[in-house]
Structure 1
């Protein structure tokens, strides 16, 4: 089966879909206005179009039509309901699957009536709509009522890359000298790094009173780059905990597994999150997680079994969750092993690719039968 992907080639998730589908026996063609930034399977035919920005999604239509006429795909799969979804709708090829990702559903439609109209029109044009999480599928259904179910096709993680069997010291932590809490995220307000720093400060204060020896070992490791670095650094200094925080900066995706191995606890206190691949990567690395109860994050964590779920923007709850794990380090190993098992059983790329292939094949079959 020939599949044409309309998606951002600069996203690691796009590349994983393309490579995964190709490795599963499909013939994949990737068309994008974004530059390739990750390693793409050499068997995938890649087209980078010169039409850039918001206007590019409209001006690239004729070129995409030409590519489709040349390769004659069995199906088109556009990723993102706003930009590439617009291109796919205007191209008018069927059968066509539209995969929604996150901000295209949670944020873009709220910008204006026109933005909402555009996304709704794109969703209605698709033969099948797919979502990475149930919460986003629910949000999509709030925009409009589709006459068919939204398929769930989650992002997966690679067991060979992120899999890890941790060895703990007698203290119950990875190191005898350090207790490392951390996150691997872009430094953007939506990801709540400021909430994490404030919760860490509260944890630091609480431990100083109850267990000063643990406080000396405490470290917050923040991996990621972004415009909020200066503000976050100032916040850490104002809370007098900057000496206990390491701002690592942005790292290549290939280095993420090594960064996760340095963490005793992974924390994601996002204000909005459509799915949360980082949570799966941490879990596969046997790293227990603390997450806010927003978006798709609670779908990925079994509370007090693979990690702890706290209320959004509740600094006290986040600090208490970190305190609970640090003062009962046996829970770190227990939750970490449980998290790995949960990810292996539900979110390995191989199974996620199979789900996507089933959606593509089903859509093609229904289209041929005139059922769409």
Structure 2
């Protein structure tokens, strides 16, 4: 470190990498800043030793960067001074979002049997906290009023088999006609799904030590002009403005969740307006170019 004349470290992960930064700070006096993302500071707190180490690293940092107001609140609970916390939201690069060709969309529709369907999309790791199990339960209510509505899930994860069992319980052995599991989607197939869907749903829920720090997928959906239904968990209400760019519901509340889904299906024009507002907000507030321009002067103080 001294040979390379490093006088300030930017640490992308509080544990375990932050431990090395803390040691260098104590031995060599090198200052450091830490990026935090939500779950990375919540999960270790169940272990007393890890919690103590977490607090030592965070409290010794010159600055702690949080990815949401929710994460900032959790940092304050750990004893980090509010004055030492700066929020930098996750951002998007508009150039990374491809516009699918008509033939690609048609091929995607044919592959998954989506012709004539009203598509509801969910993309993310298939883990319990994403709340897809509640979206499946809600679709049972939705399908009674909108029989051509389908839920298309893109992603894989340890909870995948449980979700398929849930789908089978609700819709029988031919559940794949209502709940379509696509697995991991490449960038062009993701673009097709976002383009096809009427709205995006990931009703995240709080679990012990497993919280949604923000929710990049809601910004992705917004980039394709789609409103989102998100769960009232962690930083999700900062990614989706309820009533403006979509709806925030309690993920486990099937009545509220299915009600929000039916409102969007029942008023396509309002859904379109919400999607437009969502995209405008992302382009205004969440592109990496604008985020970095806003924070550049503060970051360069450490050079």
TM-score (norm 1): 0.70
Contact 1:86 1:122 in 2 (8 A): yes
Which residue of structure 2 aligns with residue 230 of structure 1? Answer: 161
Contact 1:275 1:297 in 2 (8 A): yes
In the TM superposition, what whole-angstrom CA distance separates every residue of 1:87-119 from its partner, at most 9, and x where no partner exists? 22123263311011121222221x221121011
Shift of 1:84: 1.5
Contact 1:98 1:128 in 2 (8 A): yes
CA 1:137–1:254: 2 relative to 1, 3 Å: farther
- 2:127 corresponds to which of 188, 205, 208: 188
Q: Distance in 2 between matches of 1:176 and 1:246?
A: 13
Which residue of structure 1 aligns with residue 208 of structure 2? Answer: none
Q: Do structure 1's residue 76 and structure 2's residue 15 form an aligned pair?
A: no
Shift of 1:324: 0.5
Q: Do structure 1's residue 266 and structure 2's residue 200 form an aligned pair?
A: yes
Which residue of structure 1 aligns with residue 266 of structure 2? Answer: 327
CA 1:186–1:198: 2 relative to 1, 3 Å: same
Q: Distance in 2 between matches of 1:191 and 1:314?
A: 14
Q: Could you tell which deviates more after superposition, 189-198 or 247-256?
A: 247-256
- 1:94 corresponds to which of 17, 27, 30: 30
Which residue of structure 1 aligns with residue 76 of structure 2? Answer: 141
Q: Distance in 2 between matches of 1:130 and 1:150?
A: 6
- 2:239 corresponds to which of 294, 297, 300: 300
Shift of 1:69: 4.0
Q: Do structure 1's residue 342 and structure 2's residue 281 form an aligned pair?
A: yes
Q: Distance in 1 between matches of 2:19 and 2:120?
A: 41
Q: What is the DSSP-based 3-state SS (H/G/I as helix, E as strand, rest coil) of the residue aligned with 1:99?
A: strand
Contact 2:245 2:275 in 1 (8 A): yes
Shift of 1:164: 6.2
Contact 2:66 2:87 in 1 (8 A): yes
Contact 2:6 2:30 in 1 (8 A): no
Which residue of structure 2 aligns with residue 150 of structure 1? Answer: 85
Q: Do structure 1's residue 245 and structure 2's residue 179 form an aligned pair?
A: yes
Q: Distance in 1 between matches of 2:301 and 2:21?
A: 19
- 2:60 corresponds to which of 125, 128, 133: 125
Which residue of structure 2 aligns with residue 58 of structure 1? Answer: none
Summarize the alignment of residues 23-62 of structure 1 with structure 2, pairs less than 5 Å apart. none
Q: Do structure 1's residue 114 and structure 2's residue 49 form an aligned pair?
A: yes
Question: Could you list the runs of 5+ residues in structure 2 that have no partner in the other structure?
Answer: 103-108, 206-210
Q: Could you tell which deviates more after superposition, 321-330 or 75-84?
A: 75-84
Q: Distance in 2 between matches of 1:78 and 1:157?
A: 21
CA RMSD of aligned residues (A): 2.4
Q: Distance in 1 between matches of 2:98 and 2:84?
A: 33
Which residue of structure 2 aligns with residue 281 of structure 1? Answer: 220
Q: Distance in 1 between matches of 2:241 and 2:84?
A: 26
Q: Do structure 1's residue 179 and structure 2's residue 118 form an aligned pair?
A: yes
Q: Distance in 1 between matches of 2:204 and 2:59?
A: 30
Which residue of structure 1 aligns with residue 190 of structure 2? Answer: 256
CA 1:293–1:115: 2 relative to 1, 3 Å: same
Shift of 1:127: 0.8
Q: Distance in 2 between matches of 1:106 and 1:275?
A: 13
Which residue of structure 1 aligns with residue 105 of structure 2? Answer: none
Q: Distance in 1 between matches of 2:292 and 2:191?
A: 21
